[in-house]
Amino acid sequence: MSEIKIVTNILKANDELTALNRKKLDEKGIYVINLMSSPGSGKTSILERIISKLKDDLKIAVIEGDLYTTMDARRIETAGVPVVQINTGGACHLDACMIRDALDHLELDGLHLLVIENVGNLVCPAEFEIGEDIKITVLSTTEGNDKPFKYPLAFEKSGAVILNKIDLLPYTNFDKPEFYSNVRTINDDTVFFETSCTKDLGLDELCVWIRNRVREKQRIN
C-alpha cells in the first residue's frame, strides 16, 4: 500500500506542475508537442525535417531529453533554433518539473511551436503529462507492428502516430494493416502519418498538419 501511495503522490505533484506549465505556455499561445518513441525510431531526424520545413513560417524552440549525452541537442542547434538540453541522469522520462526549469532558459515571447523530444522509451514518458498540447508517438517499420499492444499507453495517449522509415517496409515483415488495426483498437481518434526522412516522404503533410494546429491555437489565444 505504501508503494501505491508514493506513486500517487509523485503523479499528483507532477500534475500540479503540469497545470502551471500549461498555463504559462497557453498564455503565450505556444503549441507544444511531446514527441515520444523508442530509441532508434528516427524521431530526431523527423524533428530536424520539421524544423527545416517550418522555421521560415514559425518561431520554433526545442527541449531535448536524454539520459546522458547532448548529441541530439547539438544536431537541433545546427538546425538553427533555440534548444535546451535536459539530461535525466538515468531517469527514463521527462517530468513537469524538468520542463518548468527548462522553460526559464527559453525566450517564450513570440514563440509559436515548442517541441519536447522525450527520452527514448515507449513506457514511462506516456505516464507523465508535462504541459503539452499533444503527444505524438513515432514508430519505425523496423521495430515491428506488435508495439501498440506491447506499449498501449503510448498509443492510447497520442493524438498522432508517425510510422517512420516507410521506405524500408519492403525489407521488413511489418504488417501495416495489423498495425493500424491494433492502434485503432487502443485509440480510435489518433491521426496517422507515414514518413521517410531519407526519401523525404510524408513530411510535407505532417508539417502542414502541425502548422494548422499551431495557427488554431494562436486564434484561440
* pLDDT (tens digit per residue) in 105-120: 999 999 999 999 999 8
Number of structural domains (the chain) is 1
Query: Torsion-angle region of residue 89: left (phi > 0), alpha (psi -120 to 50) or beta?
Result: left
The residue written with cell numbers 515571447 in the block is 109
Task: Name which of 161, 166, 158 is nearest 141 in CA terms.
Answer: 166
CATH assignment of the domain containing 37: 3.40.50.300
**pLDDT value for 73:** 81
Range of the domain at 47: 2-220
pLDDT of residue 221: 62
Span 163-190, mean pLDDT?
98
CA-to-CA distance for 147 and 90, rounded, in angstroms?
23
> Burial of 12 by CB count in 10 Å (0-12 exposed, 13-18 middle, 19+ buried)?
exposed
